Amino acid sequence: MANQFKKHEPADVAVSVLTETLPKEAQDTRFGAVLAAIQEHMIYSETDARGRITRVNSAFCALSGFDEDELIGSFHNVVNSGTHDPAFWSTFWKTIRSGQAWHGEICNRTKNGSFYWVDSVILPLRGLDGQIDRFVSIRTDITDKKRAENALSRMGRVVEHSANEVFVFDAESLKFMLVNRGARDNLGYEAAELLHLTPVDIKPELDEATFRNMIAPLICGEVDMLSFQTIHQRKDGSQYPCDIDLHYAGTEKPPIFLAFVQDISQRRDNEEKMRRLALFDPLTGLANRAHLQQHLAKAFQYPDRRLHLFYLDLNRFKQINDTFGHATGDEVLRVVSNRLAASMTDARLIARLGGDEFVVLHDAINPDRVVLDAERLLTVLSCPIVIDGRRHLIGGSIGFARYPEDCTSSEELLQVADIAMYDAKIRETGLSIYNADMKSRIEARQRISERLALALDEDALSLAFQPFIDLSSDSLIGVEALLRWVDAELGNVPPAEIISIAQEYRLLRRLGRWVVAAACKAIMGWEDKGLAVPFPISINVAAEQLEDGSILRDITDMCEVYGVRPEQIEIELTESIMLKAPEDARQVVLGLQKLGVKVAIDDFGTGYSSLALLMQFSADKLKIDNSFITDLFADSPSFKIVEATIALAKGLGCIVVAEGIETQTQADILQRLGCGAGQGFFFDRPLPAKIFSERWLKPVAQTEFSPA
Ligand code: C2E
Ligand code: MG
Ligand code: MG
């Protein structure tokens, strides 16, 4: 029976059934066949006039999940899902009770609680008495269609509420047809206003012809999607960068374009922030090392490019950082950076490489200007930096190098400028212009510094002791401890070189402490042997030891460790150290004097010969520099200077010691001039501790001191 009937649309069936007015037997034969067909192909049920189910077909049972037995006799609302509101049902009942067919979509519920949708036609049928005595419902399952519709409308809602901007515009006129809320909000237009605009109206960078050219490949199917970046302009005139993905839907009627737009201002900001972080020093705002390297790499791509570079390192920065803390250190770096930027306005790039190292990169500078520019930089740096009312004196050392004259690569340019900078550190001027010899010299110094560090670790240094002799009695009145280092690889390294390398490679603090300890050990050793040391041992002190105060700590500590009294120690400070010493360093000297440590001014006459210094520090000794003694003969300029110095120093109560006496004549002249004491090869060379004690020291019982 299954396929022998033509399938009817529910509405057609409804019409034919409603017009049925035939007597019962006729209905049973003609109408019965129709019903049978419907029941076979549709979801079919019948209820009585009160809605109680009297008949269901298998399709109904299959969809609802109920057995026929469970359904027959139940009210039809057994499958009610509760989805529809009372108004819906009221219209429904009103319609069918008035004898009209009802057609609509109903959401029902299966036995296990899931929902299904049916397209339903409900037909009221009248009995012979003309009264409606049953309702026939004929349904089709539209659950899948409903789901799809739902998904579509949900999709619509999602798109509408998406923060991304979605635009639909007509492919021909380009007029917007749909613009979602994200886009409307960002652009500041109402939906209705946008219907009169096209994408070109909100893209200040593009005109219509250009835009049409751009989208042409989409229309002709050359590409599926067009991605590009552009600028959108808001109603208020402000603009934002955006990423656009454009699709063409040619099968739509009319054909449309669909644009997904993402405002990338935030991303751009973040990218800019990341770029700044990657390429700029956050503390000073100057370019960082990576930026400099990038810049150099680019510059080196041009074969004719000439580059000149100043490599700058601050002096005393570490001390400021250590003494006053990092906040002060940071502020110093910021001030220095500002000064650099303000004074080097024609530089290609100014970068901070890290720590207290900076680079100023120029296109070629006229050779005459190099020294001037460097001096300008150094002057700018030497102005005191005032932080929290405190003046900080900071200087700099500058190395200068050129490409292509001094190097072949950007790395090498930095390297050789750095070498020159190291060289500058040991020069008075603070500037050094790179030359090829410098490299081997620096490498040699580097090697020496490594060996020196090792020597300090292994206690492989020593002190030599040279006597000071009273010129009138030839008796011993003091001794100077002089640094000695004979390295297995380097041989004898002169003390002046050791000191300068220790300064450069930051070994001076360790070295200074070692010297104090060794001097104390020597005193202790001699005294332990019962020898008298009735005078202080003089040790030479470098500027840094005063500036960082380490000499005060070292002497205090070592006196305690070796049981030496501070009065047994004398520090020798050169005039230049004393003259340049900042206030803090002066306080360190006064602190040492308070402890009982003696002070001698070394190499007097080589600096400013400032007798005021002697007064200021009430120095105990004044040592006239070797250079005056070498050419000391009657009426020589040295003679007059030495004579005057002796007279003035005596007036201040200082012992005058002449350094570098090599001959009897020199000793005689000095004695005649009234010089109290002398030091020099004439009396003895600097000696190892043991030989010195054997030759010069006497047991405690004896009071006379003379060479053995
Ligand atoms: P200085 O303090 O002026 O030491 C005197 C220098 O003159 C010593 O040179 C000594 O050997 C040398 N000398 C002594 N008598 C004569 C002489 O009759 N003729 C000549 N031509 N020279 C004589 P040295 O030992 O080479 O020391 C050189 C400088 O190195 C010292 O000059 C001192 O400034 C520095 N120095 C030595 N040891 C130390 C140290 O432990 N610490 C520091 N900071 N500097 C030191
Ligand atoms: Mg000395
Ligand atoms: Mg000296």
- pLDDT, tens digit (0-9, with 9 covering 90-100), for 41-66: 899 999 999 999 999 999 999 999 99
- pLDDT, tens digit (0-9, with 9 covering 90-100), for 172-223: 999 999 999 999 999 999 999 999 999 999 999 999 999 999 999 999 999 9
One-letter amino acid of 522: A
CB 575 within 8 A of CB 607: yes
C-alpha distances in Å from residue 289, one per residue of 266, 275, 330, 340, 448: 27, 13, 18, 16, 29
- 660 within ligand 1 shell (Cβ under 6 A): yes
Residue 426: per-residue pLDDT: 79
Q: Look up tokens 């350094």; give the residue.
A: 659
Residue 6: per-residue pLDDT: 33
Residue 618: per-residue pLDDT: 83
Mean pLDDT score of the chain, rounded to an integer? Answer: 89
Residue 149: per-residue pLDDT: 83
Instruction: For residues 291-311, give the mean pLDDT.
Output: 90
Residue 485: per-residue pLDDT: 98
514 half-sphere exposure, CB direction, 13 A CA radius:
22
- pLDDT, tens digit (0-9, with 9 covering 90-100), for 212-259: 999 999 999 999 999 999 999 999 999 999 999 999 999 988 999 999
Q: What whole-number distance in Å separates Cα of residue 515 and Cα of residue 535?
A: 18
- CA dihedral (515, 520, 522, 525) in degrees, to 10, reads -150
* Banded pLDDT at 706 (limits 50, 70, 90): very low
Q: What does the buried/exposed string (b/e) look like for 261-300 if buried means 16 or more CB atoms within 10 Å of the residue's CB?
A: bbbeeeeeeeeeeeeeeebbbeebebbbbebbbbbbeebb
Q: What whole-number distance in Å separates Cα of residue 380 and Cα of residue 340?
A: 8
Q: What whole-number distance in Å separates Cα of residue 422 and Cα of residue 416?
A: 10
* Banded pLDDT at 535 (limits 50, 70, 90): very high
Burial of 198 (0-12, 13-18, 19+ CB in 10 A): middle
Rounded percentage of the chain residues whose pLDDT exceeds 70? 94
Residue 24: per-residue pLDDT: 55
Q: Which residue has the higher pLDDT, 617 or 248?
A: 248
C-alpha distances in Å from residue 513, one per residue of 16, 338, 549, 552, 599: 119, 38, 12, 10, 18
Does residue 404 have a cis peptide bond before it, meaning omega lies within 30 degrees of 0? yes
CB 52 within 8 A of CB 75: yes
Residue 14: per-residue pLDDT: 42
Q: What whole-number distance in Å separates Cα of residue 314 and Cα of residue 309?
A: 16
Q: Say how many Å lie between the CA of residue 643 and the centre of ligand 1.
A: 23
The SS3 assignment for 307 reads strand
Instruction: For residues 272-280, give the mean pLDDT.
Output: 88
Q: Which two tokens stand for residue 514?
A: 């070692």
Q: What whole-number distance in Å separates Cα of residue 497 and Cα of residue 517?
A: 21
Q: pLDDT at residue 28 above 60? A: no
Q: What whole-number distance in Å separates Cα of residue 674 and Cα of residue 653?
A: 13
Length of the chain as a residue count: 708
Q: pLDDT at residue 22 above 60? A: no
Instruction: For residues 415-431, give the mean pLDDT.
Output: 89
Q: Which two tokens stand for residue 43?
A: 């979801």
- 572 within ligand 1 shell (Cβ under 6 A): yes
Instruction: For residues 383-412, give the mean pLDDT.
Output: 92
DSSP assignment, residue 528? H
C-alpha distances in Å from residue 1, one per residue of 41, 61, 137: 11, 20, 21
Instruction: For residues 78-84, give the mean pLDDT.
Output: 93
Q: pLDDT at residue 428 above 90? A: no
Rounded percentage of the chain residues whose pLDDT exceeds 90? 68
Closest by CA position to 603, among listed 659, 644, 643: 659
Instruction: For residues 659-670, give the mean pLDDT.
Output: 95
Atom of ligand 1 nearest to the CA of 572: 2
Q: Say how many Å lie between the CA of residue 584 and the centre of ligand 2.
A: 22
Q: Which residue has the higher pLDDT, 31 or 413?
A: 413
- 605 within ligand 1 shell (Cβ under 6 A): no
One-letter amino acid of 352: R
Q: pLDDT at residue 402 above 60? A: yes
- 541 within ligand 1 shell (Cβ under 6 A): yes
Q: pLDDT at residue 31 above 60? A: yes
- pLDDT, tens digit (0-9, with 9 covering 90-100), for 544-581: 899 889 999 999 999 999 999 999 999 999 888 877 77
Provide CB contacts within 8 A for 286, sequence distance 6+.
280, 337, 340, 341, 350, 351, 352, 358
CB 263 within 8 A of CB 165: yes
Atom of ligand 1 nearest to the CA of 463: 41
Q: What whole-number distance in Å separates Cα of residue 679 and Cα of residue 178?
A: 102
Nearest CA to ligand 1 atom 29: 496
Atom of ligand 1 nearest to the CA of 661: 18
- pLDDT, tens digit (0-9, with 9 covering 90-100), for 320-355: 888 889 999 999 999 999 999 998 888 999 999 999
Q: Which of 216-220, 628-632, 670-674 has the lowest mean pLDDT?
A: 628-632
Per-chain residues with Cβ under 5 A from ion ligand 3:
602-603, 659
Q: pLDDT at residue 21 above 70? A: no
Nearest CA to ligand 1 atom 13: 660
Instruction: For residues 526-533, give the mean pLDDT.
Output: 95
Q: pLDDT at residue 609 above 70? A: no
599 half-sphere exposure, CB direction, 13 A CA radius:
26
State which of 480, 482, 555 you would mutate to test the pocket of ligand 1, scoring each by most atoms of that ligand within 8 A of its C-beta: 482
Q: pLDDT at residue 301 above 80? A: yes
Q: Which of 93-102, 152-161, 368-377, 606-615 has the lowest mean pLDDT?
A: 606-615
